Amino acid sequence: MRALLILIVVLAIALVVGDRVGVVLAQNEIGRKIAAEYNLARQPDVEIGGFPFLTQAVDGTYHEIDIRIGDWNGHDISVHHLDIALTDVAAPLRDVIDNRTSNLVAATATATAVVPYDVVQRYAPSGVESIANSPEGLRATGTFSVAGLSVPATVIITVAPTEAGIQITPVSVRAAAGGPTISLALLRQSLTFVVPLQELPLGARVTAIQPGDDGLRATAVAHDVRLDSLP
């Protein structure tokens, strides 16, 4: 009986070790291919969720695959901390072995990234000197042209995803001490602008924007994503 228990323990350990080796090899291969497809400077970190890995591989369905890319350039825009979460990935084992990607599909791809404020400011009208988060909300400061006059002011702005990208819209304005009153309607005409980031990798469309201390935190979602749609 003792010998049988020892054998069972040894086999269990071997299965666990084999499972972990398999998942590491798969993660490295996914990371290598993504780095090559997107011409990344470094291979992204990949984590295949769920345990055991081997049963998922045999079944051909992976519950979640997390991909941490980091810095990424696309559409002439640089973003930081790009992460992609793939859920319910269908990858038949035979297709994986034969390196066929046409049948590899993720039910949902959710990408998150940070658009730094210096990138946002690149698309702002002249006169905007800084954009930063504050307790009052997202704030733009500078000297703005209103009715032919250059007026220093602080403007509270909102951000929203649109078909054209991330739209920046003034919602309130405060002139510098002693300065003239500024019409918000006039300011909106000159200070509303768009950062042309419509999507993140895998065709994920930007669906939500949240200001943070280091930039605009963008969330993008795509459904029924075929992994051969990598550019």
38-49 pLDDT tens trace = 667 777 888 777
- Please, what's the largest Cα pairwise distance for the chain? 94
Element at 194 (helix H, strand E):
strand 193-195
Q: Average pLDDT in the 87-95 region?
A: 73
Mean pLDDT: which of 108-112, 222-226, 227-231 is highest? 108-112
What mean pLDDT, rounded, does the chain reach?
77
Weakest-pLDDT range from 104-118, 173-187, 207-221: 173-187
Q: What would the two tokens of residue 67 be?
A: 């991909």
pTM of the predicted model, to two decimals? 0.78
Burial 115-139 (b: 16+ CB within 10 A, else e): bbbebbbebbeebbeebebeeeebb
Question: Hey, where are the domains in the chain?
Answer: 2-115+199-229, 124-195
Q: Average pLDDT in the 48-57 region?
A: 66
DSSP type of residue 50: S
* pLDDT computed for residue 177 by the predictor: 65
pLDDT band for position 208 (cuts 50, 70, 90): very high
pLDDT band for position 126 (cuts 50, 70, 90): confident
Q: Average pLDDT in the 20-39 region?
A: 64
Residue of 214, 204, 115, 213 lying closest to 168 (CA atoms): 115
pLDDT band for position 79 (cuts 50, 70, 90): very high
Assess contact for 75 and 49: CB atoms under 8 A. no
